[in-house]
Structure 1
Amino acid sequence: MNWKEALQRLKDGNERFVGTKPSTPAQDQTTIKGLANGQAPYAIILSCADSRVAPELAFDTGLGEVFVIRVAGNVANTSSIASIEYAVAHLGTKLIVVMGHQSCGAVGAAIQGGDAGPNLNKLVSYIQPAVEKLGKDAPVGDIVKENANIAAGTLTAKSDIIANAVASDGVKIVTGYYHLDTGSVDFE
């Protein structure tokens, strides 16, 4: 499946989810047994760890269909980049989505600033460039979207595997924004 087909499949799934007509495909014992020997997800999704944002549900997908990496603020750090590299290099997935969401707490922490301890400070440091670019008074949603754009750029800047796949293997990186109040996803 190429990236355009994969993106359309995500859009169609989100439309079903928002329309309260999810089909919840591929969640049965036959699917589970079929996936025991391998996987071939059609999309990679770097998403926030927020409990209200579940990409598998938001895109009405079943087991084995999407490769999801969840980390607060959907940041492109060493671990998330390595996970994406694996899916690109070993699973042949052609679409990468970096998805932020409405009212992101990690973005809120970056805006607020201050000392939150070494681990959270490190995480927030990945989001800080979006805050600095738009300013602390910018709407949170705009900062969330800019953070997703920066993370998407980081994927190719910090990974030769991803950069080469984008340049010569038909891989596409897009950003998305999940609306907590409706469940809909806007793609950029």
Structure 2
Amino acid sequence: MAESWQESLKILKDGNLQFLHQKKSKLEHNIEDLQELKEGQNPHAIIICCADSRVSPDIIFNQYIGDLFVIQNAGNVCDTSVLGSVQYALQYLGTPLVVVLGHSLCGAVSAAHKNKQVKGPLKSIVDMIDSHVVATSIDDSIRNHAKQSAEEICKLLEPYESLLEQTVKVLPAYYDICSGEVGWLN
């Protein structure tokens, strides 16, 4: 596990470079790997990302099972269950880094950007994204949604910082599905 958010960020950046250059893959696991995890989890980063089937943080950051605490939902929105999950990983697992990962071709942000009238439970997701939409482009809206979500998480965590033993950093990022590259939006 990473000792600091800086170390965790370096691991993620290095892992994405390995993925981009197809240097090596940590995705080959065996039963012995799983047995080592029975004692508990010790992830070095929390990744909040979209449930889009093309977004797999373990793959794009070239991480082993147990390295990442992944929270996925349509549009990578930060509702109460997501925030509770983040709090759990920070407070009880000591994870130092939270990444809000937007991605190209995001259907949920596209729906909000295009003012699509959706019904049912999906409407609540689009409504949460609406205030993050910018007029310029869908990609700009996706990036802004990740940035604004990261800022909201920071504000919501402030009252709980005294409960944490580690320094925590929340960073927005953008994953380009077509190139495989993760760009950091800080």
**Could you state the TM-score of these two structures normalised by the residue count of structure 1?**
0.91
What is the CA-CA distance between 1:167 and the residue it aligns to? 9.1
Percent of pairs with identical residues: 36
2:113 is aligned, of 111, 114, 118, to: 111
- Give the direction of change, closer, same or farther, for the CA distance of 1:181–1:35 in structure 2 (3 Å limit): same
Gaps of 5+ in 2: none
Tell me which residue corresponds to 1:124: 126
Mapping for residues 51-62 of structure 1, pairs under 5 Å: 51-62=53-64
What is the CA-CA distance between 1:165 and the residue it aligns to? 6.2
Letter of the 1:22 partner, please give it.
K
1:164 is aligned, of 161, 165, 168, to: 161
1:180 is aligned, of 166, 174, 177, to: 177
- Give the direction of change, closer, same or farther, for the CA distance of 1:178–1:91 in structure 2 (3 Å limit): same
Gaps of 5+ in 1: none
Mapping for residues 86-165 of structure 1, pairs under 5 Å: 86-131=88-133, 134-135=134-135, 138-160=136-158, 164=161
What is the CA-CA distance between 1:144 and the residue it aligns to? 0.4
- Give the direction of change, closer, same or farther, for the CA distance of 1:168–1:33 in structure 2 (3 Å limit): closer
Q: Deviations over 1:38-97 (max 9, x none)?
A: 010000000111111100100001111000000111111111111111100000000000
Query: 2 CA distance for matches of 1:66 and 1:54?
Result: 11
Letter of the 1:77 partner, please give it.
D
Letter of the 2:39 partner, please give it.
N
Letter of the 1:85 partner, please give it.
Q
CA RMSD of aligned residues (A): 1.9
Query: 2 CA distance for matches of 1:28 and 1:61?
Result: 14
Letter of the 1:33 partner, please give it.
Q
Tell me which residue corresponds to 1:66: 68
**Could you state the TM-score of these two structures normalised by the residue count of structure 2?**
0.91
What is the CA-CA distance between 1:26 and the residue it aligns to? 7.0
SS at match of 1:130: coil
SS at match of 2:151: helix
User: How many aligned positions are there?
Assistant: 183
What is the CA-CA distance between 1:140 and the residue it aligns to? 1.1
- Give the direction of change, closer, same or farther, for the CA distance of 1:165–1:26 in structure 2 (3 Å limit): farther
